[in-house]
């Protein structure tokens, strides 16, 4: 017999997907530029150009602190990583290509894990 889905169930269910997806992104071979916040003192122009920095360790912290209310807010932060990367890096650069590769991987995986 199918259990009625409460809002809490859906959130828990969604958050399990977030944990699975985040672990896979952190383990991806192209993840190294995205694992920790960009060092804005070391990278000229970054602070001025990128209004909302985001990285995988910050997402991990927010997930641990229960700051994602649903799958959508989690996906928005992951996409922010890739959008920032596209804004700051040439498509034809090592980090630029890595960002595109990670976004393709993420899009494929979360559609596979969809509700
Ligand atoms: C996620 O990485 C950021 O887009 C910064 C990439 C970058 C850092 C230093 C450089 O000399 C060039 C690009």
Q: Is 79 in the pocket of ligand 1 (CB under 6 A)?
A: no
Ligand 1 centroid vs 110 CA: distance in angstroms? 26
**How far apart are alpha carbons 105 and 107 in whole angstroms?**
6
Q: At what angle do helices 71-88 and 94-113 cross, to 10 degrees?
A: 160
**Residue closest by Cα to atom 7 of ligand 1:** 43
**CB atoms near residue 18 (< 10 Å):** 22
Q: How far is CA 96 from CA 5, 25, 30, 52, 104, in A?
A: 41, 16, 10, 18, 13
Q: Going residue by residue through the chain (115 aa), what tens digit of pLDDT does each one get?
A: 888 878 777 677 789 999 999 999 999 999 999 999 999 999 999 999 999 999 999 999 999 999 998 889 999 999 999 999 999 999 999 999 999 999 999 999 999 987 6
- Is this structure's pTM higher than 0.90? yes
DSSP structural state of residue 75: H
């Amino acid at each position: 017999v199918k259990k009625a889905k409460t809002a809490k169930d859906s959130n828990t269910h969604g958050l399990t997907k977030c944990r699975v997806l985040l672990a896979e992104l952190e383990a991806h071979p192209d993840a190294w530029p995205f694992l920790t916040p960009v060092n804005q003192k070391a990278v000229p122009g970054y602070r001025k150009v990128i209004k909302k920095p985001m990285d995988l360790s910050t997402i991990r912290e927010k997930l641990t602190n229960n700051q994602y209310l649903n799958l959508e807010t989690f996906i928005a932060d992951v996409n922010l990583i890739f959008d920032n990367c596209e804004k700051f890096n040439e498509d034809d650069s090592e980090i630029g290509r890595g960002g595109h590769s990670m976004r393709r991987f993420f899009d494929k995986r979360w559609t596979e894990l969809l509700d």
